[in-house]
Amino acid sequence: MVHDQRSALSTYISGLLSAGQLVFTSEQAEQALGVGRGAFLDAAERLQRRNALIKPRQGFYVAVPPQFASWGAPPPSWYIDELMRHEQQSYYVGLLKAAELHGATHQAVMEFQVVAPKRMPKIRAGRNLIVFYYRKDIPTVEAGIEDRKTDTGRMKISSPALTALDLLRYPQAAGGIDNVATVLTDLGEKIDPSQLAALSDAAERPVVQRLGHLLERLGHADRIEPMHEALTARGAAPWTELDRRETRDPDFTPAPQEHDDRWRVVVRRTPEVDE
């Protein structure tokens, strides 16, 4: 009987894949197969052990196409949109992953980074790690969220302008100031100046100051004048550190190398850019 249930679920999944569909809920499968919750869970667990199925969230399943069996899961881009609809959360793929999607590919991105208005635990899906970063004010940056076509549908990603701001807003996700500077060397030329200025109003002033300093240092001064005007309109900005980690331990804080009066940024170490 168990073998029959597992076989029925395998057939159901094969039918989904043939129709170009990867995801389903436990309720959908139970209804289609005419089985109870316990029988479905038993069959699903066996298929998970065979790397034919993953369960990123309770009640939400993703079929693993044969070509991704060795990876244990298809790429998160194939199902992230449906996963977030299942979670009833707005979202966008952002940070280093969005930068990679926009062509800033100096380094392989180890995480599939998602920004959402709810604190959510990370997901290990085969070889992939989906990591969520919290942002409560997603509606304020709607203008910087783009639709991107994927192999199985669509997903939302941050624009180059929003990605650049987020790299300074979430330094723990960006791999440090050197990595941010490296990414911005490629990403900077893709930034829309007017959109950057508009989105900067929703960002903390130190984030805007650091980004403005870096883009100017990296040769993208043509992208930042509207943002500087928007920053100035918010009133006098206090001085901020380019890299706050440099000042964590007063005994080891290096002396400033530079004071950027235009952006009011203190630079204690010049960022190193990977070629």
For the stretch 196-238, pLDDT in tens is 999 999 999 999 999 999 999 999 999 999 999 999 999 999 9
Threshold 0.85, pTM exceeds: yes
- Average pLDDT of every residue of the chain: 93
The tokens describing 64, both together, are: 């693993």
Average pLDDT over residues 252-260: 86
User: How many Cβ atoms from other residues are within 10 Å of residue 100's Cβ?
Assistant: 20
114 in Cβ contact with 57 (< 8 Å): no
Q: What is the pLDDT of residue 110?
A: 86
The tokens describing 184, both together, are: 């911005």
148 in Cβ contact with 154 (< 8 Å): yes
CATH 1.10.10.10 range(s) for the chain read 2-68
127 in Cβ contact with 72 (< 8 Å): yes
Q: What is the pLDDT of residue 274?
A: 85
CATH node for 2-68: 1.10.10.10
Confidence of residue 5 (pLDDT cuts 50, 70, 90): low
In the chain, % of residues over pLDDT 90: 85
In the chain, % of residues over pLDDT 70: 97
The dihedrals phi and psi of 125, each to the nearest 5 degrees, come to -125, 95
Confidence of residue 2 (pLDDT cuts 50, 70, 90): very low
Confidence of residue 250 (pLDDT cuts 50, 70, 90): confident
Q: What is the pLDDT of residue 81?
A: 98
Which of 141, 174, 272, 162 is CA-nearest to residue 208?
Answer: 162
